[in-house]
Amino acid sequence: MKNKNTYLASALLASTLNFALSPLQAACHNLSGAYVGIGLGSNVAGNVLYSAAENGNDIFKSTDAIKGFLGGIIIGAQKEAGPLVLGAELVTAYSTAHASKKIGGRAFSADQGLSVEIGARFGLKVADTNQLYFRLGAENTEFKHKVPVDGVATGIDTKAKKRMTGLLLGVGFEGQVTDSFMLGIEFRHTMYAEEKLKLKGTIPPIVEATDRFKPTVSAVMVRLLYKMS
């Protein structure tokens, strides 16, 4: 239900943006060119899978929402090809997204940090000056994962800082405000592969525990771009 409400809110905002931009776009007809800009938004959905295994058997497993704000710098270029608009982008962003959960006497937490994303955009022109587009890319993100060990494996520091690469999918709406400025909104969803942390207890009986960490993150970003050519 939360994801459905997010999609509906994004669609409503895109429609409002299209209506608001219409009077300003009379002289704008060319979407081709290189551009730079900024993006501001929020991680509105997503979750982190936490689980732990002792001697090969899962002993607990849970998920928790990861949410926060994000902002970034966008560099890209696009070219019209008939009714299509094809482009590529490099996006560097920082997120304050945080998730935490206490299960089995252990406090799990995850924080998202700096990310770098490279991807392609496939757009369809709408009324000459706007486009609806689909994004496909790869995002490399820093995650901090912390598990204070007080139950399954003792005496081990399980703080970990990892850069993880995930598949990014997105949809967006973008329009030219003037010949030089573009304004848009984008919904993006990134899926990361599972990471494992191996731990060993320091008191008898010696046990081996495995923490599994798998985030997925969904975000909405408003983008303001300056077209250089």
> Tens digit of pLDDT for each residue in 175-229?
998 888 999 999 999 999 887 766 555 444 445 556 777 888 999 999 999 998 7
Sequence spans of domains, the chain: 2-227
CA distance 79 to 85: 6
Q: What pLDDT score does 196 carry?
A: 75
Cα–Cα distance measured from residue 88 to residue 203, given in angstroms and rounded to the nearest whole number: 54
pLDDT at 133 over 80: yes
Reported in sequence order, the residue ranges of the chain that DSSP labels E, i.e. its strands, are 33-54, 57-65, 68-81, 84-95, 98-103, 106-126, 130-146, 160-176, 181-192, 195-200, 208-227
Q: Is the separation of the CB atoms in 52 and 60 below 8 Å?
A: yes
Percent pLDDT > 90 in the chain is 43
DSSP state letter for 206: P
CATH of domain 2-227: 2.40.160.20
pLDDT per residue as tens digits for the range 94-126? 999 988 877 666 677 888 999 999 999 999 999
pLDDT score of 223: 98
Q: Say what the pLDDT of residue 144 is.
A: 83
Yes or no: say if 105 and 78 are a contact pair by the CB < 8 Å rule.
no
Q: What is residue 137's predicted lDDT score, i.e. its pLDDT?
A: 97
One-letter amino acid for residue 18 of the chain: N
Q: Quick one: DSSP state of residue 55?
A: T
